[in-house]
Structure 1
Amino acid sequence: MWNKRPEFTAWLAEIKQVNLESLPNWEEKQMFKEFMEDHNTATFTSKKYYNIDAYYRRKMEREMKKGSKKVLATERTVFNDEEQRRLELQRERERYKEVQVEELKRSMQSGMAQAMKEQAQLREEMAYQYKVGNSEAAAAIQRRLDPDVAM
């Protein structure tokens, strides 16, 4: 029973949704019998419940092979909650500002692209009006394209 204690505890918490500390001894023994029955008949839903250490070791190896830089939580040595929260909020505000700047850039670029397309269409229309001989319409388009230049 003591060799399989971590696996049994995980099984109780995840499968049975029962806290081990809240069980009386006789009920714990009954649950352990059920656990061992599933263990011996190989009917667990996950390989974790057979050897929890090997399961997490394989999981970590897979993550390291993927190149994941996810590191296990380190032990806290500084307990300055207010300062940590202030820094967390500051980072969140900075990220929010960066997102807003990127959205603004994207919207400006799309707006500029649209304006450039409209100008190109107006130039084509102006060239067509000159070819047709309608110089008044061509001059009006020219004023729209470059309002600073006097004709």
Structure 2
Amino acid sequence: MESLSNWEEKAMFKEFMEDHNTATFASKKYYDLEAYHRRQLEKEMKKGFKNVPVERTIFDDEEQRRIELMKERERQKEAEVEALKRSMQSGMAQAMKEQTRLREEMMYQYKLGNSEAAAAIQKRLDPDAPV
């Protein structure tokens, strides 16, 4: 633009305004640049490019850093919750399996007529219950 004379710049702008007003740009990309870049990215992803450079459109570094930190904290919290769930499930699952096994054993002992063994198992399952 610096090397153009005033009349050349006006002529180019007049040509641009004509294309803009009549919607006759040379390429579809000028109508929606974001959609054009998205399509280009999808094409490159289909071709197999893994690390496609992302064009930076937002220049608010502080806000982006804040968002990054929030996402990282959320990922850490989710990881902690998952680890806690796994640890609880393994312990709780074992306890529940043991209780189920003891109930089945108690029912088996009742069916056999061995009420003493069944009462002992009942006491193990619920120590606070009256005998």
The TM-score, its normalising length taken from structure 1, stands at 0.45
What whole-Å deviation, never above 9, does each CA across 1:114-139 have from its counterpart, x for those lacking one?
Answer: 22211111012112222333322211
Matches within 5 A, 1:102-113: 102-113=82-93
The TM-score, its normalising length taken from structure 2, stands at 0.51
Please state how far the C-alpha of 1:63 moved relative to its aligned partner: 1.6
Pick from 61, 64, 79: which aligns with 2:43? 61
Identical amino acids, percent of aligned pairs: 62
Please state how far the C-alpha of 1:99 moved relative to its aligned partner: 1.0
Q: Distance in 2 between matches of 1:115 and 1:126?
A: 16
Q: 1:101 to 1:64 in 2, by over 3 A?
A: same
Pick from 95, 100, 107: which aligns with 1:120? 100
Q: Distance in 2 between matches of 1:145 and 1:104?
A: 26
Q: What is the DSSP-based 3-state SS (H/G/I as helix, E as strand, rest coil) of the residue aligned with 1:113?
A: helix
Q: What is the DSSP-based 3-state SS (H/G/I as helix, E as strand, rest coil) of the residue aligned with 2:85?
A: helix
Q: Distance in 1 between matches of 2:130 and 2:69?
A: 55
Q: Distance in 2 between matches of 1:59 and 1:79?
A: 23
Q: What is the DSSP-based 3-state SS (H/G/I as helix, E as strand, rest coil) of the residue aligned with 1:123?
A: helix
What whole-Å deviation, never above 9, does each CA across 1:22-61 have from its counterpart, x for those lacking one?
Answer: xxxxxxxxxxxxxxxxxxxxxxxxxxxxxxxxxxx98851
Q: Distance in 2 between matches of 1:90 and 1:139?
A: 55
Q: Distance in 2 between matches of 1:76 and 1:92?
A: 20
Q: Which amino acid aligns with 1:109?
A: Q
RMSD of aligned residue pairs (Cα, Å): 3.4
Larger RCO, structures 1/2 (Cα 8 Å, 6+ apart) = 1
Matches within 5 A, 1:1-151: 60-63=42-45, 72-80=54-62, 84-151=64-131
Q: What is the DSSP-based 3-state SS (H/G/I as helix, E as strand, rest coil) of the residue aligned with 1:109?
A: helix
Q: How many residue pairs were aligned?
A: 91
